[in-house]
C-alpha cells in the first residue's frame, strides 16, 4: 500500500501557534510552486496509490480548478485511488468548490474548525465564523462527498471544560463522519512560545490537558465515534486510509517543500526552504533532503511507536513476521514497566495502551524508540 502526500504551503495569514512549513499567500510564488510540484511529479515512477492527501498550509488557498489540475497530474502517475482527501480552511470555501472537488475525484474533506467558540477561534489567530463552518459542512453534504472530517483543538488558552464540551457537542451535532482532536502544542520559535514565556499560566499543564482529552473521549464515545487512534475518532467504516497507512508503517511518498517519504526502509524529508525546493524541482535537480535508513532495532522501535497510537496496538505475531522482533521478549523491561504502572495491557495477541496510557502516550512511545 502506498500513500501520496502533497504539501501546499500557502496560507492567507499565519496562525501564531503554527510550526508547519508555510508561507503567506503570494500569487506569483503560489503559481511557481505548482510548476515545481508538476516537475517533481513527472519524475516519480508510476505506481498504484491507495490514497492521495492534499495537506498544508492551506490547500484551498488555491482555486478548485488548480486543485483539479494537480489531481489530474497525480492520477497520471499514481492512478486514481479510492481515497483522495483535501484539508480546507472554511473561510476560503467558494460555493462551487465541492462540485469541482468531487468531479476531480476528491472523496474526503477535512475542515480546519479548531473550535466553535468565537473567542477561542480568535485566540488561535483564525478568522472564520461558526456560521461559515456550518455552511461549509452543509455544502459538502449537498455535493455528496463521501467523508467529512472536522479538526478540533483543545488546551487552547482561555478554554474551559465547559467550552470544550460545547465545541465537541456542536461538532457532533453536525454529524461528521470523522473527528480529529489534537492538544495544542507550543513549538519553539512561534509567537505562542513567546507568549508562554511571558505568561506561562495562560497555558495548560499536563493534568488540565488530560482532563480535556478525557472529555473528548467520553463525548465521542457517547455519540458513537470509535477512537481508532490517539487523536482520531470515526464512525464505522470512516477511518482515514491515508493516516492509517502511516500508523501501520506503510510506504508513502511526500511531494512538495518539507514533505516526508518512507520507501524501501528509507525515511527522507525534503528541505524546508521554499526557494531551495522550487529551484531544485524546476531545474530538474534532486530535491535536497535528509534521509535515514531505518533498520533493526530502530525500525522496530518506530513501528511499535506508530502501532501503539492505534486502538489495535501492536500485533505480536505480525511484528515477529515483519520485523523479526519478539516484542514481549526483546522489549521485556519496557513492557513490564508500563504494564505494572497500568499504561500498557496485553489483550490476546496484542499489546496496547490502556485508557490511562493514551494520556501518557508520548512517554510510553518514547521509551520504545530509545530502548537499546
Window contacting ligand SF4 (CB under 6 A); options: 16-24, 46-54, 74-82, 309-317: 16-24
Nearest to 56 by CA among 19, 32, 22: 22
CA distances, 113 to each of 181, 183, 227, 309 (Å): 10, 14, 19, 23
Q: Which is nearer to ligand SF4, 18 or 223 (CB)?
A: 18
Window contacting ligand SF4 (CB under 6 A); options: 55-63, 162-170, 222-230, 234-242: 55-63
Three-state DSSP at 7 gives strand
How far from chain centre, in Å, is Cα 53? 10
Window contacting ligand SF4 (CB under 6 A); options: 15-23, 134-142, 146-154, 277-285: 15-23
Contact by Cβ (8 Å): 57, 258: no
* Interaction residues for ligand SF4, span 278-317 (CB under 6 A): none
Q: Which is nearer to ligand SF4, 89 or 123 (CB)?
A: 89
Nearest to 7 by CA among 68, 65, 58: 58
- The b/e string for 26-38 (b: 16+ C-beta within 10 A; e otherwise) is eeeebebbbebbb
Exactly one of 8, 15, 136, 335 binds ligand SF4 (CB under 6 A); that residue is: 15
Exactly one of 1, 14, 69, 318 binds ligand SF4 (CB under 6 A); that residue is: 14
Exactly one of 4, 37, 41, 56 binds ligand SF4 (CB under 6 A); that residue is: 56
- Total binding residues toward ligand SF4, as defined by CB under 6 A: 10
Tell whether residue 176 is a contact of ligand SF4 (CB under 6 A): no
Smallest separation (angstroms) from ligand SF4 to the CB of 362: 21
Nearest to 369 by CA among 319, 314, 306, 310: 306
Exactly one of 3, 7, 8, 22 binds ligand SF4 (CB under 6 A); that residue is: 22
Smallest separation (angstroms) from ligand SF4 to the CB of 118: 17
Question: Is the preceding omega at residue 57 within 30 degrees of 0, hence cis?
Answer: yes
DSSP 230-270: TTEEE-TT---HHHHHHHTT-EEEEESTT-EEEETTEEEEE
Q: Which is nearer to ligand SF4, 133 or 304 (CB)?
A: 133
Exactly one of 20, 23, 38, 195 binds ligand SF4 (CB under 6 A); that residue is: 20
Smallest separation (angstroms) from ligand SF4 to the CB of 225: 23
Smallest separation (angstroms) from ligand SF4 to the CB of 175: 24
User: Biggest alpha carbon distance in the chain?
Assistant: 58
Q: Which is nearer to ligand SF4, 40 or 87 (CB)?
A: 87
Q: How far apart are CA 280 and CA 246, in angstroms?
A: 27
How far from chain centre, in Å, is Cα 276? 25
Smallest separation (angstroms) from ligand SF4 to the CB of 322: 34
Contact by Cβ (8 Å): 117, 153: no
What are phi and psi for residue 345, nearest 5 degrees? Answer: -140, 150
Nearest to 197 by CA among 207, 187, 212, 206: 187
DSSP 65-106: HHHHHHHHHHHHHH---SEEEEEE-GGG--TTHHHHHHHTT-
Tell whether residue 114 is a contact of ligand SF4 (CB under 6 A): no
- Residues 78-107, one symbol each (x = binds ligand SF4 by CB under 6 A, - = not), give -----------x------------------
Exactly one of 7, 33, 58, 107 binds ligand SF4 (CB under 6 A); that residue is: 58
Tell whether residue 18 is a contact of ligand SF4 (CB under 6 A): yes
Tell whether residue 25 is a contact of ligand SF4 (CB under 6 A): no
Smallest separation (angstroms) from ligand SF4 to the CB of 269: 17
Which residues bind to ligand SF4, rule: CB under 6 A?
11, 14-15, 18, 20, 22, 56-58, 89
Amino acid at each position: 500500500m502506498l500513500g501520496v502526500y502533497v504539501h501546499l504551503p500557502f496560507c492567507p495569514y499565519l496562525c501564531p501557534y503554527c510550526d508547519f512549513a508555510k508561507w503567506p499567500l503570494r500569487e506569483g510564488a503560489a503559481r511557481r510552486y505548482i510548476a515545481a510540484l508538476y516537475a517533481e511529479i513527472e519524475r516519480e515512477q508510476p505506481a498504484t496509490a491507495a490514497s492521495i492527501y492534499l495537506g498544508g498550509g492551506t490547500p484551498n488557498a488555491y482555486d478548485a480548478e488548480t486543485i483539479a489540475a494537480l489531481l489530474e497530474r497525480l492520477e497520471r502517475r499514481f492512478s486514481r485511488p479510492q481515497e483522495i482527501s483535501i484539508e480546507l480552511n472554511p473561510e476560503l470555501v467558494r460555493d462551487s468548490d465541492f462540485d469541482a472537488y468531487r468531479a476531480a475525484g476528491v472523496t474526503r474533506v477535512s475542515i480546519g474548525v479548531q473550535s466553535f467558540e468565537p473567542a477561542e477561534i480568535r485566540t488561535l489567530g483564525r478568522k472564520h465564523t461558526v456560521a461559515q463552518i456550518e455552511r461549509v459542512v452543509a455544502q459538502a453534504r449537498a455535493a455528496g462527498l463521501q467523508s467529512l472530517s472536522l479538526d478540533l483543538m483543545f488546551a487552547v488558552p482561555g478554554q474551559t471544560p465547559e467550552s470544550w464540551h460545547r465545541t465537541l457537542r456542536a461538532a457532533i451535532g453536525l454529524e461528521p463522519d470523522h473527528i480529529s482532536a489534537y492538544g495544542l502544542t507550543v513549538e519553539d520559535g512561534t509567537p505562542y512560545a513567546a507568549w508562554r514565556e511571558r505568561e506561562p499560566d495562560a497555558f495548560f499543564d499536563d493534568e488540565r490537558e488530560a482532563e480535556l482529552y478525557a472529555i473528548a473521549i467520553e463525548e465521542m464515545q457517547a455519540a458513537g465515534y470509535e477512537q481508532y487512534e490517539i487523536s482520531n475518532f470515526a464512525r464505522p467504516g470512516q477511518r482515514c486510509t491515508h493516516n492509517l497507512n502511516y500508523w501501520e508503517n506503510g510506504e508513502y511518498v511526500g511531494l512538495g517543500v518539507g514533505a516526508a517519504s518512507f520507501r524501501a526502509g528509507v525515511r527522507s524529508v525534503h528541505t524546508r526552504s521554499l526557494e531551495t525546493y522550487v529551484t531544485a524541482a524546476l531545474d530538474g535537480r534532486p530535491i535536497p533532503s535528509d534521509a535515514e535508513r531505518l533498520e533493526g532495532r530502530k525500525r522496530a522501535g518506530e513501528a511499535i511507536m506508530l502501532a501503539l497510537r492505534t486502538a489495535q496496538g501492536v500485533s505480536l505475531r505480525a511484528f515477529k513476521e515483519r520485523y523479526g522482533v519478539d516484542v514481549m521478549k526483546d522489549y521485556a523491561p519496557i513492557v513490564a514497566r508500563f504494564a505494572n504502572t497500568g499504561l500498557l495491557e496485553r489483550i490476546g495477541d496484542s499489546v496496547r495502551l490502556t485508557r490511562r496510557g493514551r494520556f501518557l502516550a508520548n512517554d510510553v512511545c518514547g521509551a520504545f524508540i530509545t530502548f537499546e
